[in-house]
Structure 1
Amino acid sequence: MWSGKCPYVVPNHFKEQVGIFAPQFSGYQQQDSQELLTFLLDGLHEDLNKIKRKPYIEIKDSDGRPDEVVASEAWEIYRKRNDSIIVDYFHGLLKSTVVCPDCGKVSVTFDPFCNLSLPLPIKRERQIVITFFPSDPTKKPEVLTTMVPKRGHVNDLLCALSHQCGVSPDDLVVTEIMKHHFHKFYSNNDSLENIDSQDSLAVYEVPRIESHVPVPLILWEVNAKQTFSSSQLFGFPMLLMMPRGSCTYQDLYKSVAEKVARYLTLDDPDESSGGASNSNTRNLNPENISQRVPTSIFNLYVVNPSTAAVFKLHSDNKPLQLPFSDTLGRQYLAAQWTTENRKRYLSSQLESDVQGCDTGRQKLSNMLQLKDCLDLFTMCEKLGADDAWYCKDCKRHQRATKKFDLWMLPKILIIHLKRFYYNRFRRDKIDTMVEFPLANLDMSKFINNKKHPPATYNLIGVCNHYGGMGGGHYTAYALNKIDRHWYSFDDHHVSATSPESVITSAAYVLFYMRNE
């Protein structure tokens, strides 16, 4: 494994040995990675424990003694029974404070931990951020947020947006945009659970006309010295409504020009400069497109995204039989711009709108911060009837208040995000995006120990889970200690990746190392 000669290692023998000691991990059923990690660290600790004969030591009640004394006593007792490198690197100390609601008795205990299991807020609704494109091409795209049922469908999103925008749900098309093109078109029955919080959703207002069909449009730039295959996409993808039957190239050209009217500019020729452009640049409206736009500022192509086949449309007056249907995404219309014409006829407003929508999505995104989960973990809570606390003074079980605080943190801090939720009525997975720092995670705010040294951590690994309660897929990211690069581990595929790609809504277990 450590020879450097293998691109990957299949740990079949290791898995078999784990299954011998823990039958729950045998077979080929998917297991919880955090449970496996806990079992492995516990097993390694017991194998490496220098204490072979553990003494019995009675733990005293806090009885109002200073926290420093009780904590030191608890840790000393624990170390007399547990002494291994696993404890040295992975174990910390939690403070638990329980208060009786009747007599006011306060019980403080200090317990070791190997990983922090942080809760995530449980909501039956979720916020979805979309970019809305009105049918009027002169209007600016708008970033909107709407609340939808977490287990709902795309139709629920359409109804919510219809109420918000005053547009019929039948005239709205939900898509996912990626790198300036349509990545996916959603149907009304698609589950919202399949839409990730990081997906770039766009909703287009497309008034339905029985005699017309929606046509996806993408914008392409190509340098005069380059081939078409080396061109690049830019701006927003758009949706046109074109007649189901045949139409001419001029009809198609005019429709595309109308669609990009917000971004088109026309330079009035300056006779004194031999036709060079002056500063009298005016935006065009759809009404005067056909009269003012030259007929050759872009070329039109039909693109098949599944085969990458590209067909150029010819600018004659012959009727065109367009290969478009009600099933969106099978064929695209591409408007190809040369670099020169893009600079001359398209204003900077296009890129400004793209950047504005990206910024707006980031601001309105409902992602949690890791500190929000830590706040929830350290929040005071009232115990339920099923987990009531026995008060020695009242001589009965009480629904006391309980609060956790961090007292001592380990060198390697393992944070488990509790994405799987169980109760007697339902089981669910929480896919909320949790943003966590790659470097300098400052835990000082959450440590209730004034004598604790500074505790800042750098991320060194992430375990990801994709899928739901019934099954899924695990991947991992890890930071290479030698070259300081991040790598992605997906079954037998190992590849370098960027630090930014490490932060996803699939993050399940985080591994941090303390800055010494």
Structure 2
Amino acid sequence: MNSTIQCLNNTSPLITYLIMDIYLRDINRDSLGEVVDDFAYVVKALWSGQYRCITPRDLKAVVGRHQPMIAGYMHQDSQEFLTFLMDGLHEGLNKVKVKPRIPEQNNEGLPDVKAAEISWRDHKLHNESIIVELFQGQLKTTIMCLTCRKQSVKFQAFMYLSLPIPKTTRCTLGDCLRQFSAEEKMTGNSKWECPQCRTYRDAIMKLEIWKLPHILLIALNRFVYEGQWRTKINAHVDFPTSGMDMSSFVIGPRPKSYKLYAVSNHFGTLDGGHYTACCKNPCTQTWYKFDDSEVFETSESSVKTSAAYVLYYTSIDLLPPDFKPSFS
């Protein structure tokens, strides 16, 4: 929980929106507004300069009320906490109070650009918040029947990329991205119900990145199942800290260059472990390591370890939180 909060606390456009109380004009009291209130209280306390450290008991309690898995004090997953917190912030800030009925989209015969545009427009009819504006991108899924070659194309929004790690002791983030978009055969219990054959068929599925968000969250899938057993992959994934060019991995609008500004780390095993965070302060442009209540200055090179779990990248300048955010 601490690791995730520290990473988000250095996402200055989001923090500016909360510290300056801009969020009050958008907050949805009929949904998860209390999650937003308590998270805003935490970041205001962190940026006030009045405390050496704080304990976010109220935020934990309100999250636990909506997500029972987090209610106790068992060892939990930071990515799962991040997922719920981001969903909670979005729902609590969603400007769409009445969601219109949207018919299922048929992309047959449509060029990808048009299909993606319609899908994103429909997504925004139900979802409009600073979380969508900052953190959400778009994926393209293509499924092809291996019998009749019929293809189905769909576009969907994503909050973060969950990347597989190749089975090796060392790899690069590029290797993970290539494996993410590799073709996957759907057979056996995973057969696809082909609308043209009107029965279940073997198929090939391909997942590709269409559009990236301003703030790109990348979760390295370190916890995987091998048969019946869940295990952790401790491979060292080499990832860039600045000048990350994603153009070879994006098939839609050309992305800007990304730079790393935070990392959530996991040390230990499945049964127990410890989370830390390394974050670049938007005011001082200095990297710090956050280890529970302890904070240490650190170097940019030291953030690249085999414990890296969730990577936080930005394509926009992260200004000090007293600046009004701009997404141009």
TM over 0.5: yes
Normalising by structure 1, report the TM-score: 0.52
**Which residue is equivalent to 2:85?**
40
Distance 1:8 1:91 in 2: 31
1:412 aligns with 2:215: yes
User: Which string of whole-angstrom CA distances, capped at 9 and with x for unpartnered residues, describes residues 167-220 of structure 1?
Assistant: xxxxxxxxxxxxxxxxxxxxxxxxxxxxxxxxxxxxxxxxxxxxxxxxxxxxxx
**Which residue is equivalent to 1:498?**
299
1:487 aligns with 2:288: yes
Amino acid at match of 1:472: G
**Which residue is equivalent to 1:392?**
195
Map residues 9-408 of structure 1 onto 2, 5 A cutoff.
Answer: 9-122=54-167, 366-408=169-211
**Following TM superposition, by how much is the alpha carbon of 1:423 offset from its aligned partner in structure 2, in angstroms?**
4.7
**Which residue is equivalent to 1:432?**
235
User: Which string of whole-angstrom CA distances, capped at 9 and with x for unpartnered residues, describes residues 99-140 of structure 1?
Assistant: 1000000111001000000001236xxxxxxxxxxxxxxxxx
User: Which string of whole-angstrom CA distances, capped at 9 and with x for unpartnered residues, describes residues 429-479 of structure 1?
Assistant: 000000111101111111112xx1442111010000011111211111111
Greater fraction of residues in helix: 2
Amino acid at match of 2:236: M
Matched position secondary structure for 1:10:
coil
Matched position secondary structure for 1:441:
coil
Distance 1:404 1:392 in 2: 20
**Is the Cα–Cα contact under 8 Å of residues 147 and 202 in structure 2 kept in the other structure?**
no
**Which residue is equivalent to 1:146?**
none
**Is the Cα–Cα contact under 8 Å of residues 98 and 402 in structure 1 kept in the other structure?**
yes
Distance 1:13 1:48 in 2: 19
Matched position secondary structure for 1:89:
helix
**Is the Cα–Cα contact under 8 Å of residues 59 and 74 in structure 1 kept in the other structure?**
no
**Which residue is equivalent to 1:513?**
314
**Following TM superposition, by how much is the alpha carbon of 1:384 offset from its aligned partner in structure 2, in angstroms?**
3.9
Query: Cα 1:121–1:481, aligned 2, differ >3 Å: closer, same or farther?
Result: same
Amino acid at match of 1:422: Y
Distance 2:286 2:275 in 1: 21
Work out which of the residue numbers 269, 272, 287 in structure 2 matches 1:468.
269
Normalising by structure 2, report the TM-score: 0.80
**Which residue is equivalent to 1:444?**
247
Amino acid at match of 1:38: T
User: Which string of whole-angstrom CA distances, capped at 9 and with x for unpartnered residues, describes residues 70-119 of structure 1?
Assistant: 11110000001111110000000001111100000011100100000000
Distance 1:39 1:47 in 2: 12
Matched position secondary structure for 1:46:
helix
Matched position secondary structure for 1:434:
strand
Matched position secondary structure for 2:208:
strand
Distance 2:280 2:274 in 1: 21
Between 376-385 and 33-42, report the one with greater CA deviation. Answer: 376-385
**Following TM superposition, by how much is the alpha carbon of 1:424 offset from its aligned partner in structure 2, in angstroms?**
4.0
Amino acid at match of 1:436: F
User: Which string of whole-angstrom CA distances, capped at 9 and with x for unpartnered residues, describes residues 404-424 of structure 1?
Assistant: 111110000000000001254
Matched position secondary structure for 2:241:
coil
**Which residue is equivalent to 1:271?**
none
Structure 2 residue runs without a partner (length 5+) = 1-44, 318-328
**Is the Cα–Cα contact under 8 Å of residues 212 and 255 in structure 2 kept in the other structure?**
no
**Following TM superposition, by how much is the alpha carbon of 1:488 offset from its aligned partner in structure 2, in angstroms?**
0.4
Distance 1:49 1:397 in 2: 38
**Following TM superposition, by how much is the alpha carbon of 1:428 offset from its aligned partner in structure 2, in angstroms?**
0.8
Q: Between the two structures, name the one with larger relative contact order (CA 8 Å, sep ≥ 6).
A: 2
Matched position secondary structure for 1:440:
coil
Distance 2:189 2:263 in 1: 34
Distance 1:423 1:74 in 2: 35
**Following TM superposition, by how much is the alpha carbon of 1:514 offset from its aligned partner in structure 2, in angstroms?**
0.6
Amino acid at match of 1:70: A
Matched position secondary structure for 1:460:
strand
Distance 1:26 1:61 in 2: 41
**Following TM superposition, by how much is the alpha carbon of 1:59 offset from its aligned partner in structure 2, in angstroms?**
2.1
**Which residue is equivalent to 1:180?**
none
Greater fraction of residues in strand: 1
User: Which string of whole-angstrom CA distances, capped at 9 and with x for unpartnered residues, describes residues 318-355 of structure 1?
Assistant: xxxxxxxxxxxxxxxxxxxxxxxxxxxxxxxxxxxxxx
Amino acid at match of 1:388: K
Bigger Cα Rg: 1
User: Which string of whole-angstrom CA distances, capped at 9 and with x for unpartnered residues, describes residues 358-382 of structure 1?
Assistant: xxxxxxxx52110000000011111
Distance 1:476 1:461 in 2: 7
**Following TM superposition, by how much is the alpha carbon of 1:510 offset from its aligned partner in structure 2, in angstroms?**
0.3
